Amino acid sequence: MSMPTATGPLAGIRVIELGQVIAGPFCGQLLGDLGADVIKVEAPGTGDVLRQWGPGDAAGGSVWWQVAGRNKRSVTIDLRVAEGQRLASLLAAEADILIENFRPGTLEKWGLGWERLHEVNPGLILVRVSGYGQTGPFAGLPGYAAVGEAMGGLRSLVGYPDRPPVRIGVSLGDSLAGMFAALGAVAALEARHSSGLGQVVDASIYESVLGITESLVADWSALGRIRERSGPILPGIAPSNVYPTADGEVIIAANQDTVFGRLCEAMGCPELATDDRFRDHRARGERQEELDRIIADWSRGIPSAQLLETLREASVPSGLLYQPSDMVDDPHMRARGSLVEVPTDGYGPVTMQNAFPMLSGTPGSVRWAGHALGADTDDVLENVVGLSSDRISALRRDGIV
């Protein structure tokens, strides 16, 4: 199978991705977007369960898989049998990074723990993604994003104060764990330049969520203050909210003093900027509801497009609440190439997010969408591991690949 040559900053780096669903595979997706050769190992016959998640059809499988499996080569190996574990060890010997997101102890049970992998390949970086990390009393428990988001402090902050917490509409905890895992992987690659040795990157879901909670714990430690759910606002940060228009809603964020002054000019109420009720950040935060009502009374009679034009001319941060249809038509996203159209086997050209962040000298790219299960097994086992075609055929007959 002919595939585009990688040109990103990680071109030449080989990654073995074990595990399934989101957290570990998202780490692999990010590294693949940046040019790494990602070899995804899946169970024969079934593959990653993400192949069946989300909308799709019987012919094309999951559309989600076209994104999650992009820039990866699919190899089927049964890791639960000794010969499959031997094949995984051979792949690890030829890799720079190995990603896994099984429950801690699983690799060790298969004879693929850190000691064994380090012996096979001293330069290998083992990226381990789990709910609670590789150590501690919770390490062996199953950990999903929902639980990690709760333990990391995020779930208690999302929603309205008079209702139970809600979840964000994406698996944020999993994706954050994948991002922190990818950051750890490239940091370990940099460290390897001087030491020549790999190391273990231990990324947990709950700590990845905890890592983005700003001063949540410090506020409690220093001031005894506990952040509460606050709906669409951040308490004390005003004005910054969703406001009604004549035909929908817009986001306006004008909480900085100078920006608030520009908003007041755009509203035709310049006196608000010097009104003692709103003249500085603290005053606006104390009268947040009152200020939001004033802005809403002004905005609700203006069509969204006209309102945004007025606010942008005044250099007031503002925008629509985008749906996918807005994204694909947005001139800024088109100009930057934020979305790309990628050929797929089951759905024809599919539009998806591009590779981020954008690098000026060695940009990443989406080279292909998710491959069919096992599409690259023969190629990888022959050209990476060095097995003969007869040996690969025998492994297939035995159900190992």
Euclidean distance between CA atoms 126 and 188, whole angstroms: 9
Given a cut of 90, whether residue 340 has pLDDT beyond it is: yes
What is the predicted pLDDT for the residue at 27? 98
Same domain, 247 and 280: yes
331 in a domain, yes or no? no
224 in a domain, yes or no? no
Same domain, 139 and 81: yes
What is the predicted pLDDT for the residue at 2? 67
Tell me which of 303-307, 345-349, 377-381 is least confident: 345-349
Given a cut of 80, whether residue 42 has pLDDT beyond it is: yes
Q: Cβ neighbours of residue 197 under 8 Å, at least 6 residues apart?
A: 122, 123
246 in a domain, yes or no? yes
Same domain, 105 and 189: yes
Q: Which residue has the tokens 């909670």?
A: 213
What is the predicted pLDDT for the residue at 58? 54
260 in a domain, yes or no? yes
Same domain, 108 and 184: yes
Residues annotated as catalytic are 174
Same domain, 252 and 375: no
Euclidean distance between CA atoms 34 and 366, whole angstroms: 9
User: What average pLDDT does the segment 52-66 reach?
Assistant: 80
Tell me which of 5-9, 10-14, 57-61 is least confident: 57-61
Query: pLDDT of 123-133, one tens digit each?
Result: 999 999 999 99
Euclidean distance between CA atoms 391 and 80, whole angstroms: 19
Annotate the chain with three-state secondary structure.
Answer: CCCCCCCCCCCCCEEEECCCCCHHHHHHHHHHHCCCEEEEEECCCCCCHHHHCCCEECCCEEHHHHHHCCCEEEEECCCCCHHHHHHHHHHHHCCCEEEECCCCCHHHHCCCCHHHHHHHCCCCEEEEEECCCCCCCCCCCCCCHHHHHHHCCCHHHCCCCCCCCCCCCCCHHHHHHHHHHHHHHHHHHHHHHHHCCCCEEEEEHHHHHHCCCCCHHHHHHHHCCCCCCCCCCCCCCCCEEEEEECCEEEEEECCCHHHHHHHHHHHCCHHHHHCCCCCCHHHHHHCHHHHHHHHHHHHCCCCHHHHHHHHHHCCCCEEECCCHHHHHHCHHHHHHCCEEEECCCCCCCEEEECCCCCCCCCCCCCCCCCCCCCCCHHHHHHHHHCCCHHHHHHHHHCCCC
290 in a domain, yes or no? yes
Same domain, 162 and 291: no
The residue from 276, 293, 322 where one domain ends is 322
CATH number at residue 98: 3.40.50.10540
Same domain, 168 and 297: no
Residues across the chain: 401
Query: pLDDT of 233-269, one tens digit each?
Result: 999 999 999 999 999 999 999 999 999 999 999 999 9
Euclidean distance between CA atoms 162 and 11, whole angstroms: 51
Question: Angle at Cα 99 formed by Cα 94 and Cα 104, nearest 5°?
Answer: 125
What is the predicted pLDDT for the residue at 55? 81
Same domain, 341 and 309: no
Residue 315 region, left (φ>0) first, then alpha (ψ -120 to 50), else beta?
A: left
4 in a domain, yes or no? no
The residue from 322, 348, 365 where one domain ends is 322
User: What average pLDDT does the segment 140-167 reach?
Assistant: 95
Same domain, 51 and 190: yes
Q: Are 201 and 188 in contact (CB under 8 A)?
A: yes
Same domain, 93 and 153: yes
What is the predicted pLDDT for the residue at 33? 98
What is the predicted pLDDT for the residue at 295? 98
Cβ atoms within 10 Å of 213's Cβ, excluding its own = 15
The residue from 322, 351, 385 where one domain ends is 322
Cβ atoms within 10 Å of 232's Cβ, excluding its own = 11
What is the predicted pLDDT for the residue at 1? 55
Kind of pairing between the strands at 248-253 and 318-320? antiparallel
231 in a domain, yes or no? no
Query: pLDDT of 8-20, one tens digit each?
Result: 999 999 999 998 9
Domain that holds residue 167: 14-212+336-397
Dihedral, CA atoms, 26, 31, 36, 42, nearest 10 degrees?
-20
Query: Which one-letter amino acid corresponds to residue 14?
Result: R
Residue 281, both tokens: 């950040």
Q: What is the mean pLDDT of the chain?
A: 96
Euclidean distance between CA atoms 83 and 127, whole angstroms: 23
Same domain, 295 and 192: no
Euclidean distance between CA atoms 82 and 89, whole angstroms: 11
User: What average pLDDT does the segment 187-192 reach?
Assistant: 98
pTM, two decimal places: 0.94
Euclidean distance between CA atoms 143 and 133, whole angstroms: 9
Given a cut of 70, whether residue 60 has pLDDT beyond it is: no
Task: Return the bridge partners of 41, or none.
Answer: 75
What is the predicted pLDDT for the residue at 348? 93
Query: pLDDT of 260-304, one tens digit each?
Result: 999 999 999 999 999 999 999 999 999 999 999 999 999 999 999
CATH number at residue 268: 3.30.1540.10
5 in a domain, yes or no? no
Q: In the chain, how many domains are there? A: 2
Q: Are 91 and 16 in contact (CB under 8 A)?
A: yes
Euclidean distance between CA atoms 368 and 341, whole angstroms: 10
Same domain, 189 and 126: yes
Q: Cβ neighbours of residue 183 under 8 Å, at least 6 residues apart?
A: none
